[in-house]
């Protein structure tokens, strides 16, 4: 099993993601610099980590979405490689057009950093199958622009297609329909504001994040 964590200038959860994936799955993890023009061969999972890529200039994730390596990430995602964007990674996936919608500034204008309960809205995805029907999991969030927005038509489509994967039990930021994470229509690209990489062993308060990485790689 092989995973890659993409490192952008300003990523700050890249090491967390690598450790989380390694410890929870035993997969070999390679760090890939954003200027690279090729991904390692035989990848089973690509992780876009949290952080403040390019200092959040212009819009969160806007610059990173145009990084050289993103051409390869988009091609791999379109080939069906499991790809997960966490926090800033979610913003990058939206900016890159791999996921619908966008992330706005939090409704309360505050950066919100805390453990949070999530409803597993769709447990039939390759990322959530390991929850085996559990309805609620715990992870943490840490973001200032995590307020998911999609227009009414897009929202109806993703709701109808089961693309809403996680919802907040208590909405922390004004996200439309309490959405915390969504998947693409191909079922292989997941974007989520909560951090599974900060919840991969009990000492961190929750090991629910580990199950997500295990599921992603079990289905590879």
Partner 1 sequence: MKATVHVFLKPGVLDVQGKAVENALHGLGWADVKDVRVGRVITFDVGGTDKAAVEAEVKAMCDKLLANTVIESYRIEVG
Q: 13 an active-site residue?
A: no
The token duo for 30 is 């390679």
Choose, from 34, 87, 94, 113, the residue flagged as catalytic: 87
CA–CA dist 208, 201 (Å, integer) = 8
Other beta carbons within 10 Å of 197: 31
Which residues are within 8 A (CB) of 15 and not within 5 positions of it... i.e. 6 or more apart?
Answer: none
Q: Which is nearer to partner 1, 181 or 209 (CB)?
A: 181
Minimum distance of partner 1 from residue 152's CB (angstroms): 10
| CA 11 distance to own-chain centroid | 13
CB-nearer residue toward partner 1: 24 or 163: 163
34 is catalytic: no
From CA 146, how far away is CA 104, in angstroms rounded?
A: 6
Alpha carbon distance 64, 76 (integer Å): 17
Tell me how crowded residue 114 is: count the other CB atoms within 10 A of its CB.
Answer: 8
Q: Find the shortest distance in angstroms from Cβ 53 to partner 1.
A: 14
Q: Minimum distance between the CB of residue 60 and partner 1, rounded to whole angstroms? A: 10
Q: Across the strands, what pairs with 11?
A: 51
Cα–Cα distance for residue pair 71/69, rounded to 1 Å: 5
Looking at beta carbons only, is 172 or 209 nearer to partner 1?
172
Q: Which is nearer to partner 1, 10 or 144 (CB)?
A: 144
The least distance separating partner 1 from the CB of residue 16, rounded to whole angstroms, comes to 27
Residues found near partner 1 in the complex (CB under 8 A): 58-59, 62, 66, 94-95, 100-102, 104-109, 147, 149-151, 174
d(CA 17, CA 129): 20
Instruction: From the candidates 13, 60, 94, 195, give the one annotated as an active-site residue.
Output: 195
Q: Give which of 194, 176, 17, 7 is closest to 100, Cα–Cα.
A: 176
Closest CB to partner 1 among residues 63, 137: 63
Quote the least distance from Cβ 163 to partner 1, whole Å.
15
Tell me which residues are annotated as active site.
87, 195
């Amino acid at each position: 099993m092989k995973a890659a964590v993409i490192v952008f200038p300003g990523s700050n959860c890249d090491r967390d993601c690598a450790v989380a994936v390694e410890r929870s799955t035993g997969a070999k993890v390679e760090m890939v610099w954003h200027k690279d023009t090729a991904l390692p061969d035989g990848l089973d999972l690509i992780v876009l980590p949290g952080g403040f890529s390019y200092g959040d200039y212009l819009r969160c994730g806007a610059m990173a979405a145009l990084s050289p390596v993103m051409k390869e990430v988009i091609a791999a995602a379109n080939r069906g490689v499991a790809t997960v964007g966490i926090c800033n990674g979610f913003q990058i996936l939206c900016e890159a057009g791999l996921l619908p919608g966008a992330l706005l500034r939090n409704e309360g204008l505050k950066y919100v950093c805390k453990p949070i309960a999530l409803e597993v809205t769709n447990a039939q995805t390759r990322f959530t199958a390991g929850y085996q029907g559990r309805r609620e999991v715990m992870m943490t969030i840490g973001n200032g622009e995590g307020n998911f927005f999609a227009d009414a038509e897009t929202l109806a489509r993703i709701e109808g297609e089961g693309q809403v994967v996680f919802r907040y039990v208590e909405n922390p930021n004004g996200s439309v329909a309490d959405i915390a994470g969504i998947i693409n229509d191909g079922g292989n690209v997941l974007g989520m504001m909560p951090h599974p990489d900060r919840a991969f062993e009990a000492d961190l308060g929750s090991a629910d994040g580990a199950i997500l990485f295990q599921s992603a790689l079990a289905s590879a």
